[in-house]
Amino acid sequence: MRPDEIQRLADGIRDVQDFPKPGILFKDITPALGDGELFEIATRGLAETAGGARIDKIVGIDARGFIFGAAVAHLLGAGFVPIRKKGKLPWATEIESYSLEYGEAEIEIHKDAVGPGEKILVVDDLLATGGTAAAALKLIDRIGGEVVSVSFLIELAFLDGRERLGDAPVQALLTY
């Protein structure tokens, strides 16, 4: 991405003070989603994080990862695989638990969503503490996928989320 595109994308992210609770500065991506040019910049930028590598599947993490992941899959001519919250997928799944700030959560993937050795680009909107992304990487590994990159629209670097993702290459279009 060109520096001017990065700046335009950053300008399309709205800060919302005290959401969802006091003391949190929420990065609202909906203005960028609602602007066709900014959405195109974001999806193209995320597709470029593959670095020209062959990608068989894009894995999008529930729920905003679906928005970007499906668009990136289209750009790269790859399949799209959703990782969903527990209980939302209709067939046989692998499930992974992870810690949240106030408790536990579980995500799942269809057991046959990724074949052994398939090259995977994981896409989500935000890397914060890294718990959900780390759980997604465990699921992909368990069913045989090979993660090429884990790519985010935004990384909140001060929360050290990438530290939880091990050796996986992590990329973000915008870092705060």
**Annotated catalytic sites, by residue?**
64, 101
Which residues lie across from 147 on neighbouring strands?
120
Token representation of residue 82:
């959703």
92 vs 46: CA distance, rounded Å: 30
Cβ–Cβ < 8 Å for 1, 171: no
Which amino acid makes up residue 65?
A: G
Cβ–Cβ < 8 Å for 125, 68: yes
Token representation of residue 29:
């991506």
54 vs 89: CA distance, rounded Å: 27
Cβ–Cβ < 8 Å for 8, 157: no
Phi, psi angles (nearest 5°) of residue 44? -65, -45
